[in-house]
Amino acid sequence: MAKSDRLLQLMQCLRTFPAPVKAHALSKELGVSLRTIYRDIESLRRSGALIDGEAGYGYTLQEDPALPPMMFSRDEMEALVLGLREVVQVADPVLAKAAENALSKLKASLPERMRAEFEHAVLYAKRFHCRPEISIDIEALRHATRNEQIIEIDYSDVEENRTRRAIQPLAIVFFDRSLVVLAWCELRTAYRSFRIDRIVEMTVTDRSFRPRRVPMLREYLDRLERSSPDN
C-alpha cells in the first residue's frame, strides 16, 4: 500500500474509532507494524493534523484540516445541514448563533455545484413549541462542564421547593421540551439530572473534579440504559 493511501486510511481510523485509539488497534487495522504507525502519526502531525496522545496511551484527533466540505457525500451534507438547523431551533441563543455561523462557513467553503443542494436541502428542522425560559448563563454552564468545574446552584423542584447544591456537571442533554444537565450531586452523593430552567442561580467555583467527567458520564449513561423500561 502506498504511504499516501495508508495515511488517508489512518486519518479515517482516527476520525471513526473511539478515542483514544491505541497504536496496536491502528496497526492491526492497517496491517502494518507499530513503528510504521508511530512514523505515520508524526507525518500527519507535520501535515497539520492536531493529534493528541502518545505511544502507550492512544491517539485522539483534535483537529482535522484534511477534510474540506467538498469531500462530503450528498447524504452527509444533508445530515450536517439538518443537524445544524436543529441546533438553531433548540439551543440557547449563543449556541444557536454558533450553528448559524457554522452553516454560513460551510456554505462559503463549498464548490459552486454543491451550493444549490446546500441551500435547498430536502430535510429541515422546525419546532412549534417554546422551551421554558432559562435564567442562568448556559454558556458559562457549558464552559464549566468542559473544564470539569464544580458549580453551586439554587434549584427549584416541581413543587417549587428550593435547595442549594454543589454538583459536578457531566453533560447537557437536549430533550424535546427541556434542557437537562446530568451531574453528580454532592448533597445526595448520587447521580442526578437537573432541568436547567429550574436552576434559579448558578455559581461556578474554582473546585475541579478533573479528570473524572468522562468515566463518570459513561457510568451514569450505563445506569440509565440498564434502568430503561425496554431492558
The per-residue pLDDT for range 122-146, each reduced to its tens digit, is 666 666 667 778 899 988 999 999 9
pLDDT reported for residue 4: 83
pTM here is 0.61
- The domain spans of the chain are 3-63, 69-119, 138-226
Q: Considering the chain, what percentage of its residues have pLDDT values greater than 90?
A: 43
154: confidence class by pLDDT, cuts 50, 70, 90: very high
Residues 213, 148: contact at Cβ < 8 Å?
yes
All 3 cell numbers of residue 66? Answer: 484534511
User: CATH 1.10.10.10: does it fit domain 3-63?
Assistant: yes
**Dihedral (Cα; 74, 76, 78, 79), 10-degree rounding:** 170
Residues 156, 198: contact at Cβ < 8 Å?
yes
pLDDT per position as a tens digit, 176-201: 778 899 999 999 999 999 999 999 99
Class of domain 138-226: mainly beta
